[in-house]
Amino acid sequence: MPPNIPKDPLSGHLGHLSPEQQHILGKFRTELQDEGIFDQERHDDATLLRFLRARKFDLAKSKAMFASCEQWRKEFGVDEVVKTFDFPEKEAVDKIYPQYYHKTDKDGRPVYIERLGKLDLKKLYAVTTPERLLKRFVLEYEKFLTERLPACSEVVGHPVETSCTIMDLQNVGLTQFYQVKDYIAQATRIGQDRYPECMGKFYIINAPWVFSTVWMVIKPWLDEVTVNKISILGYNYKNELLLQIPAENLLADLGGLCQCPEGCSLSDAGPWNEENKGLIAETEPDKTVA
């Protein structure tokens, strides 16, 4: 490509495929159908492209990743989790280990927030189990793909395919991290290997001085593309977050203006929630962001 022509940032996405990428997509779909691991309802072209992008359009590697994911879905019982899993301990867990979606960023992405500072493993496992936490994690990923992203896409008028994540490490010490690192490792592998190409922005805030040690443990779990999407902001994060998230959508205790009456972590505010249809970021109408 000539140096004066910028690379398309959406290369590999629907509407932005080169002839070669379009050919590989068609071949990928055909081979999956021939091998009996293609589901017409779940495996649209956008889904197939997530696996192709994750493996840089290497057909063999993409097929191996896809087949492994389908086998994992059967073993984990993903369809059954979606149909029947309930999490009545949600409010109790929220007081100890808050993990939730809350409104959107300026590109229309759902904002996901995880806060490790309140974590007390003994209290957490008194109200739930690691297995139930993982099932909830998977259920939220499924809802992210089937409910949150379509609702965000409808509001902004273009496909929204990724999330904006904030991981708050305020008051987190090495003891807390090592207590929960096995769960985080499992969750990271599921997100990266089973739901590829879903991360758009990832901010780690309030990272303490010991985070360099934690990062040495976490980094090998991640592929290079994922690592390049992570911004480690420390304690001076407010201005950076407000560049990406409107103040009215960002929690007040993270430097924004939002104070949901019932508490932001339990409000599920966003365009995917019928009660909160209007709570969506103002996006540039002519901007297309994956």
- Residues 85 and 260: their CA atoms lie apart, in Å, by 27
- Residues 196 and 250: their CA atoms lie apart, in Å, by 26
List Cβ neighbours of 188 (8 Å cut-off, separation of 6 or more): 218, 221, 222
Residue 113 or 188, more confident:
113
**Using CA of residue 90, residue 91, residue 92, residue 96, what is the dihedral sign?**
positive
Q: What CATH code would you report for 85-276?
A: 3.40.525.10
Quote the Cα angle for 20-25-28, to 5°.
Answer: 125
The pLDDT value given to residue 114: 92
The pLDDT value given to residue 87: 97
Q: Which residue has the tokens 């965000």?
A: 152
Residue 63 or 278, more confident:
63
The pLDDT value given to residue 285: 38
Mean pLDDT of 52-66: 96
The pLDDT value given to residue 276: 62
Predicted confidence (pLDDT) at residue 161 exceeds the cutoff of 80: yes
Phi/psi at 115 (5° precision): -125, 115
| Length of the chain as a residue count | 290
Residue 124 or 280, more confident:
124
pLDDT in tens, 65-103: 999 999 999 999 999 999 999 999 999 999 999 999 999
Q: Which residue has the tokens 């001076």?
A: 236
Phi/psi at 167 (5° precision): -110, 115
Burial class for 270, CB neighbours closer than 10 Å (0-12, 13-18, 19+):
buried
pLDDT in tens, 207-224: 877 777 777 777 777 777
pLDDT in tens, 165-175: 998 988 777 77
Supply the mean pLDDT for the chain: 88
pLDDT in tens, 218-265: 777 777 777 788 888 888 999 999 999 999 999 999 999 999 998 999
The pLDDT value given to residue 277: 55
**Alpha-carbon torsion angle 25, 27, 31, 32, nearest 10:** 10
- Residues 55 and 50: their CA atoms lie apart, in Å, by 9
pLDDT in tens, 21-44: 999 999 999 999 999 999 999 999
Specify the range with the lowest mean pLDDT, choosing from 84-88, 108-112, 154-158, 203-207. Answer: 203-207
List Cβ neighbours of 103 (8 Å cut-off, separation of 6 or more): 110, 111, 245, 249, 258, 269, 270, 279, 280, 281
The pLDDT value given to residue 1: 44
The pLDDT value given to residue 233: 87
- Assign residue 94 a region (left: φ > 0; alpha: ψ between -120 and 50; beta: otherwise): alpha
Sequence spans of domains, the chain: 19-76, 85-276
CATH 3.30.450.40 for domain 19-76, yes or no, is no
The pLDDT value given to residue 288: 38
The pLDDT value given to residue 154: 94
DSSP secondary structure letters along 67-109: HHHHHHHHHHTHHHHHHH---TTHHHHHTTS-EEEEEE-TTSP
CB 150 within 8 A of CB 159: no
Residue 39 or 282, more confident:
39
The pLDDT value given to residue 283: 45
Distance, CA of 132 to chain centre: 19
CB 102 within 8 A of CB 111: yes
The pLDDT value given to residue 125: 92
